[in-house]
Structure 1
Amino acid sequence: MVLLGAGLLAGCSGLDTREQRALSGGAIGAAGGAAVGALTGGSPLLGGLIGGAGGAAVGALTAPSGKKR
């Protein structure tokens, strides 16, 4: 189990800022969507899918472009 976790984390080491934000936004959105789906009597799976997609999109779209003004 520890090796699996280490392998998954090592795969994320070469991501740029936009990719990191999309990944973390997707994870946060999926967790939040699943929780809301479960608490409201809906489907946690569907809530997680919608939340994950929305979170990834928001994370990627709000990432700084790297250009300074």
Structure 2
Amino acid sequence: MDIYEKKAELLARINAAGEERHEMLPELQSLVSELESHGNTISANLKYMLAELEDEAREADMDNFPV
């Protein structure tokens, strides 16, 4: 699969995932790394989504932290 097809497919799945979209963070991080390794510029939208998922994953981890 072409890297741009992978990007489109992953972004569609993230947008459809709802509250559980933070679980796709590793896939998005891998995609960003792959894009960078091929010399592609990472768009502001993709960087923003990455930051959002990182925040959501951190919040989910904190929700599961024992008190």
TM bracket, shorter-chain basis:
0.3 to 0.5
TM-score normalized by structure 1? 0.36
Structure (1/2) with the larger helix percentage: 2
Greater gyration radius: 1
